[in-house]
Structure 1
Amino acid sequence: MLRKLIHPILILPFCLYINSQEALLSKANNSIEEILHENENQIFLNYSDIDNITLKNNRELKALESLVNSTMFTLSSKIAKRYPSLDLQASGLPKYTSGKNYNSSSSTTKTSQFSANPSLNIKLDLIDPLRGSEIKIARNNYAIAKNNYEIKKKDLIKEAKSRYHKLQKSYQDIKNKTLSLDLSITSLKDAQSKFDAGIGTKFEVLEAEAQLSRDMQSLNEKKIQNQINKIELKEILNINGDFEINQKQKLIGFWNHKLNKNITEGLANSLSLKNINLKKSIKENQAKNYLNVYKPNVYISNNFTSSFSKGDSLSVKIDPEKSGSSYTNTVSLNFSWNIFDGGQNKNLYKSSKADVKSEDYSYKNIENVLKTNISKAYLNLKLNEEKILSSLKEISSTEESLRLARLRYDIGISTLKDVLVRQKELSNANSKKIDSIYNYNLNLDELVRLTFLEISNICNEENNLIKNEIQSICNI
């Protein structure tokens, strides 16, 4: 009779306790959701849209584009030196002169005259020792500006894709922590049920409560991190308003290129190495110009001057209808020659030649850095392929281990501690899979950036089979 009375009495507080825990959990989640979801109309952002949106919206690229245009106009101005220059001058257009000249020994004369004196000068440099090198320098600067634009563009696209993957990863982290939270709620219910039935301990209930609290905190942290990642992606893409992405994490493709090909293509296509060669060429041309100063500059010129007048000048009686004109045309071949300047330009020549050697060392250094970065990205890609496969196996094993541990706990031959350990192992296994897919995609984007090769949608089974394993990355 007493036993029949005890059970209803114990069940009531148990139900109230579980309800209170769920209410607290719901309240905590709602407060986070209120912070995170205060959004306007959403647009959907695909991974394939990142390139176009970055090119269209990013302000850094627009600034570099203006710099490219500036160097292009500078090049045009240097090329213009190949063509003749034309100068038109006019001394009074028109000019009016009036006056009176008194002399006691002669008649008084007067002046009242309109005049114009235009002149036209044409000059063409036949031999300009500096012109050729200046055009080459301007052309190289233009090429460097274009390369810098491409470098920045590719870096920004890579960074935007990295933030996209990071946001996608954070959605999967939320999903994983939500699963852990659900498992912790189940564990707490089981522990409380056993305690109320007299076959469990208070320690197990407290342990389950602590695990539930940790999972709640971890989930909230992941939600906040998700929102931060979203803001960072929005910032680099310069998007107005809210947006949403495909939350499902997947491999963006496969890398079917051998390591040697990666290094060869990366060095051949590297814009940074091309810029170093261009800078070296600029310094060589600057050095030449310091010596070319000592060479003569030869040019031909044609100077045409004319004069038109109407009226009288220094006449006793002014004739307003009197007019006159004259012209002179002079063609000449000229040259100028800077013979000696105290050795100033010779020393500047030596300085530029020393700078040329420094570019050789810079080239070798960047070349070694590129080889290292390409090799690291390639090997990390292969490592993450293995991690993806091993994490999938680990998830399968830990799911079964958790199921068996819960069955053992239910029938009383195991403790809640064992269930919580298996539960944590499952969460860790899911995190490993999420991280390995995230890093795999980052490695792919980095290899594309470094080598200029393309990601394939078709998996090369021969390259991607894991030794002594039936599973392959091609099946993911």
Structure 2
Amino acid sequence: MLKKVINPILFLPLALFINSLEVLSTEKKDFIDKILEEKSNTPFINYQEIGKIILNNEELKSLHNLVTSASFNLSSQIAKRYPSIDFQANGLPKYVSGKKYSSNSQTLKTSQFTANPSININWDLIDPLRGSEITIAKENLKIAENNYEIKKKDLIQEARQRYHTYQKSYQDIKNKKFTLDLSITSLNNAKAKLDAGIGTKFEVLEAEAQLSRDKQSLNEKKIEHEINKISLKEILNIKEDLEINKEQNLIGFWNHKLNKNIYEGLDKNLSLQNLLLQKSIKRNQANSFLSQNKPKIYISNTFSTTFSKGDSLSTSIDSKKSGSNYTNTVSLNFSWSLFNGGQNKNSFKSKIADAEAEEYAFKNLKNVLKTNITKAYLNLKLNEEKIISTLKEIESSKESLRLSRLRYDVGISTLKDVLLRQSDLSNAKSKNINALYNYNLNLDELERLTFLEISKNCMDNNNNEIKEKQSICNNSI
């Protein structure tokens, strides 16, 4: 009785199909290799902690010193309200010796130690410049404080952007390694078909070329990953290695309407406040030039005394002779600069023109901020839609790749079609990664521009929680 021999080629489609399913399931695995794994003893940087860590930034420390300098300058200007006391001593002590000869009189000698201390007290009762100088110092201090806050918020936003970029690079590597594994499977399938006599050398070469491109792309993403880490460490002023949360999720939701965004952003913007302060400073400087032509009234008190030991202009020196005297003078003083050729008047007009320039700068910045807030808000809504659409695209691409592999396994499709579907899936994943990345950047930008808070709950226009299936709200935070 003849035994039936089953051709092993008949099992090839089944083997290829099982291999395809195994590769598609590898998406759930962690593809970050050991090169990118952080050491267990490195500090873990949480997204919420960036605001505290950024205080260690060197540029921010420099601005903090400028705030301190402006504070001391204000104290210096305020001190002008109080009396000033000066101590002066002409010779402490002073020794005078000499002779005075005259043919008509006796020769006189001098040998004497003297000391002449004096104390001067001045108090400006009316100083036209003092009020403007104190006001300018206060406004300069406020500007320095605002500049510090502006830079701090800018650095926080920049650090968060670098954090998101570094986080995104993990996902890019994961996606590229997933694609690389698909290409390895495609190459193995092409070689298996060639060995079985039902494939072509051209398909093997095509699969090898795709595998080479995927390896190169993966290496590029690894380099970008290391550069992103260096950039994040630089802005956080961290010398050692660091570790972050590798998962890419939504950091929150934006439940504020556009009109509220614009109103809050313009009302609380510190750069706009600085322009108003600069305008006020220019006007106070202009008034100070006019004040120089106003009278100044001050009280002065001078107490002077003289102590002496020895003799002066005497025929015989008595070294034990001593004496002292004192005087105290109190006066009300008045000074008034009447004319200086129009210098102060022209300087006044110059500062008024500068103040008007600050007004135009204020209006221009206001328009720029409105535009930036609107663009960030609209881009956020656009990226919300992209996140949802790319998720659908990923599911569709997965199914297309699965069907394409089945068609290829049974010989009714080509490897070229499989590679195209494989590329479509990789691109869909990349689009979703970019959409999540840009969405989080838009949230950080809106928070920076409007001073409003990112919410952890997803609400509609009526402050009701959204529970629709096809919604951005279903993405985990």
**TM-score, length of structure 1 as denominator length:** 0.89
Matching residue of 1:208: 207
The answer on whether the counterparts of 1:254 and 1:456 sit within 8 Å (CA) in structure 2 is yes
- Assess, with a 3 A threshold, how the Cα gap between structure 1 residues 399 and 37 changes in structure 2: closer, same or farther: closer
Question: Structure 1 residues 122, 468: CA separation in 2 closer, same or farther (over 3 Å shift)?
Answer: closer
Do the aligned residues in 2 keep the contact of 1:465 with 1:471 (CA within 8 Å)?
Answer: no
The corresponding residue for 1:293 is: 292
Asked if the contact 1:41–1:241 (Cα under 8 Å) also holds between the matched residues in 2, the reply is no
Q: Are the structure 2 counterparts of residues 165 and 38 from structure 1 closer, same or farther at C-alpha, using a change threshold of 3 Å?
A: closer
Partner Cα distance (1:354, 1:400) in 2:
69
Summarize the Cα distance change of 1:422–1:341 in structure 2 as closer, same or farther, 3 Å threshold: same
**Match of residue 50 from structure 1:** 50
For residue 97 of structure 1, report the CA deviation from its aligned partner.
2.1
Quote how far apart the aligned CAs of 1:108 are.
3.3
Q: Deviation digits for residues 331-389 of structure 1, max 9, x if unmatched?
A: 11111111111111111111111111111111110000001101111111111111111
Deviation, 1:469, is: 6.9
Identity value in percent:
69
- Give distance in 2, aligned partners of 1:40 and 1:461: 42
Letter in 2 for 1:397: S
* 1:373 partner letter: N
Q: Distance in 2 between matches of 1:374 and 1:267?
A: 10
Deviation at 1:214, TM superposition (A): 0.9
Output one character per residue of 1:244-294: Cα deviation in whole Å (capped at 9) or x when no partner.
211111111111111111111100110110000000001001111111111
Cα gap change, 1:466 to 1:399, in 2 (>3 Å): farther
Which residue is 1:29 aligned to?
A: none
Offset at residue 431 of structure 1 (A): 0.4
Q: Which residue number corresponds to residue 156 of structure 1?
A: 155
Report the counterpart of residue 29 of structure 2 in structure 1.
Answer: none
CA distance in structure 2 between the aligned counterparts of 1:118 and 1:431, rounded to whole angstroms:
84
Task: For residue 146 of structure 1, give the secondary structure of its aligned residue in structure 2.
Answer: helix
Cα distance, 1:445 vs structure 2: 0.6
TM-superposed CA distance for 1:33, in Å, is: 7.4
Give 2:70's aligned residue.
71
Q: 1:426 to 1:466 in 2, by over 3 A?
A: farther
Q: Which amino acid aligns with 1:149?
A: Y
Q: Which AA in structure 2 matches 1:264?
A: Y
Deviation at 1:321, TM superposition (A): 2.6
Paired position in structure 1 for 2:440? 441
Taking the aligned partners of 1:272 and 1:60, their CA distance within structure 2 comes to 18
* Correspondence 1:90 to 2:89: yes
1:3-152 alignment runs, 5 A limit: 42-56=42-56, 58-152=57-151
CA distance in 2, matches of 1:370, 1:466: 30
Tell me the number of residue pairs that the alignment of Structure 1 and Structure 2 aligns. 448
| 1:348 aligned onto 2:350 | no
Once the two structures are TM-superposed, the CA of residue 186 in structure 1 deviates from its matched residue by 0.6
For residues 468 and 127 of structure 1, do their structure 2 counterparts lie closer, same or farther at Cα, with a shift above 3 Å needed? closer
CA apart distance, 1:65: 1.3
For normalisation by structure 2, the TM-score amounts to: 0.89
SS in 2 for 1:108: strand
Q: CA shift at 1:38, angstroms?
A: 11
Correspondences of 1:351-430 after superposition (within 5 Å): 351-430=350-429
Are the aligned partners of 2:150 and 2:270 in contact in 1 as well (CA < 8 Å)?
A: yes
Task: Letter of the 2:417 partner, please give it.
Answer: D
Partner AA of 2:176 in structure 1: K
User: Which residue number in structure 1 is paired with residue 238 of structure 2?
Assistant: 239
TM alignment of 1:278-317, pairs within 5 A: 278-317=277-316
1:338 matches 2:314: no
The answer as to whether partners of 2:466 and 2:473 remain within 8 angstroms in 1 is: no
**What is the rounded CA distance, in whole Å, between the counterparts of 2:91 and 2:434 in structure 1?**
81
| Aligned counterparts of 1:78 and 1:156: Cα–Cα separation in 2 | 32
The Cα shift of 1:40 comes to 10
User: Is the CA contact 2:458–2:466 (under 8 Å) kept in the aligned structure 1?
Assistant: no
CA RMSD of aligned residues (A): 2.5
Instruction: Kindly indicate whether the alpha-carbon contact (under 8 Å) linking 1:464 and 1:472 is maintained by their aligned counterparts in 2.
Output: no
Q: 1 CA distance for matches of 2:462 and 2:236?
A: 35
> Does the aligned pair in 2 maintain the 1:40–1:242 contact within 8 Å?
no
Matched with 2:273 is: 274
Moved more, 158-167 or 459-468: 459-468
Partner of 1:15: none
Gaps of 5+ in 1: 12-31
Other-structure match for 1:26:
none
The 8 Å contact of residues 467 and 474 in structure 2, kept in 1 or not, is answered as no
Q: Any unmatched runs of 5+ in structure 2?
A: 13-32
Q: CA deviation at 1:463?
A: 7.4
Pairwise CA distance, 1:311: 2.1
Shift of residue 39, structure 1, vs aligned partner: 8.1
Contact 1:387 1:433 in 2 (8 A): yes
Q: Which residue of 1 aligns with 2:28?
A: none
**Aligned with 1:471: secondary structure?**
coil
Partner of 1:20: none
Q: Identify the residue that residue 264 of structure 2 maps to in structure 1.
A: 265
Assess if the C-alpha contact under 8 Å between 1:111 and 1:314 holds in 2.
yes
